[in-house]
Structure 1
Amino acid sequence: MQVNEESMKPVLNRLKRAQGQLAAVIAMVESGRECEDVVTQLAAVSRALDRAGFKIVAGGMRQCLVDGSENPPMTQDKLEKLFLALA
């Protein structure tokens, strides 16, 4: 499954934001910040990555349903495995 470039822009923005958040978490750990603060920011990174993954899968589903391209349609089993990989 390939997702078109237009639908990847928001995904890339989310991933870049998560990358910045992760760098901040690393800096927090290195500077000895409170555990609660680190875990809170780490949870935010995790949510950002999950949302990016779901957006990729949803875009691929939309493309598979709408697009009559040469790519074979995605099976229900394959879609389930992608969603479960993000769970």
Structure 2
Amino acid sequence: MRTGSEPATARSPLRMRLWLSVWGMAWAAFGLAAFLVAGRVGWATACGVLLLVALTDCCLVVRHIRQGPHYQPGRDIPPYEPDEASRDDRKP
């Protein structure tokens, strides 16, 4: 529900999340390679799983960025109250 108190300059954190995901992928790939060289299979597996999670997150963030901005009401549209039917449903 729109309350009217949203900041006019609100920005999506998707770009920051993208770079954090890339940073996580780099460290997970480094950890995977280092632990494989050291013969630590358990830690290498953990880094591999972390790498897959970061890669999935990166793909989702890129997808959301490519979808573009979604409609948000501007400053000229006042806040609105919920309709009466939904308000009546909440009463015990």
User: Normalised by the shorter chain, which TM-score bucket?
Assistant: 0.5 to 0.7
Name the larger-Rg structure: 2
Q: What count of residue pairs does the alignment treat as equivalent?
A: 62
2:28–2:47 CA contact under 8 A, matched in 1:
yes
The sequence identity of aligned pairs, in percent, is 8
Runs of 4+ aligned structure 1 residues displaced above 3 Å come to none
- The TM-score with structure 1 as length reference comes to 0.58
Query: CA deviation digits over 1:42-67, x for unaligned, max 9?
Result: 01111101111111101211x1655x
Q: What is aligned with 2:19?
A: 12
Structure 2 regions of 5+ residues with no counterpart?
1-12, 72-92
Pairwise CA RMSD of aligned residues? Answer: 2.5
- The TM-score with structure 2 as length reference comes to 0.55
1:51 matched to 2:57? The reply is: yes
Structure 1 regions of 5+ residues with no counterpart?
1-5, 67-87
